Amino acid sequence: MARIVGGFGISHTPSMGLEYDKGLAQGFSPRWQKWYDGTRGVKAWLERAAPDRMIIVYNDHLNHFDFSAYPTMAIGVAPEFRQADEGWGLRPFPSLVGDVDLGWHLTEKLVRGGYDLTVCQDLAVDHGIYSWLPYLMDLPWTIPVVPVAINMVRHPIPTSERLHQFGKDIRRAIDSFPGEDRIVVVGTGGMSHQISGARFGIANETLDHYFLEKLKDETEELVAIPQEELMRLGGTEAAELAIWFSMRGALSDKVKEVHRYYTFPAITGCGVVVYEEPA
């Protein structure tokens, strides 16, 4: 059977992607050089882990879905996933390679397990994936991906408990996927930040560090924090931290933390943590 070899949680932000493009062309500014340097350990781990497939749980930012129809959970099942134009034109990166076989397998198992997934055979992917992926993987991007979009825009959003259990059920589904493929599970959501309203620009680096420290061994403590409290402490979009619970739920209790990094270049806390399963 296929097996999960590890996973990681990582922030995303539009500026992260735009700063990557500027950094390659002109050199990184000091504040973004820190983030680039901090992701080198993740890139090296991915090269060692050599995954055959990836599952990425993220959130769309009204760049594919809109308020006329915004699903709570949506899975991409297609040969490729195009880059979304977020208003400043397409960046110089190709579409993501889709994993149709694993996508349908997950859809079958998860829907029959009680999840009402919206199946997308056309899905444009925004900075929820494209902002951090170039930091971690050189072109060409050949690893097939199953993107799973979680509603973090229109309330009510899925609970932390629901997303943690979702990760556990992803693991169960992978356990029945034929073959000996190595799979990495990713959870990506912004850390503390708020991009609208009277508290625009609020952030809480203490909350971000606390989250990274607790995620491996004290997940239940984090899951028990009401999302409203995360939003109060870290800004409205800090609720996206709940997406990381899907990644953690998909991994075993025996994982080893192999890399952790955090910095605050602008507006949004930028952090990453990598967990590896025992051989």
The span from the CA of 167 to the CA of 183, in Å, is: 13
Query: Which two tokens mark 8?
Result: 């990681």
Residue 3 exposed, middle or buried by CB count within 10 Å (0-12, 13-18, 19+): middle
Closest CA to 227 of 160, 156, 141, 136: 160
Residues marked as catalytic? 127, 193
Strands of the chain (E only): list them: 3-10, 53-58, 73-76, 80-81, 96-97, 118-120, 145-150, 182-188, 256-266, 268-276
> Distances in Å between the alpha carbon of 102 and those of 28, 75, 78?
37, 11, 10
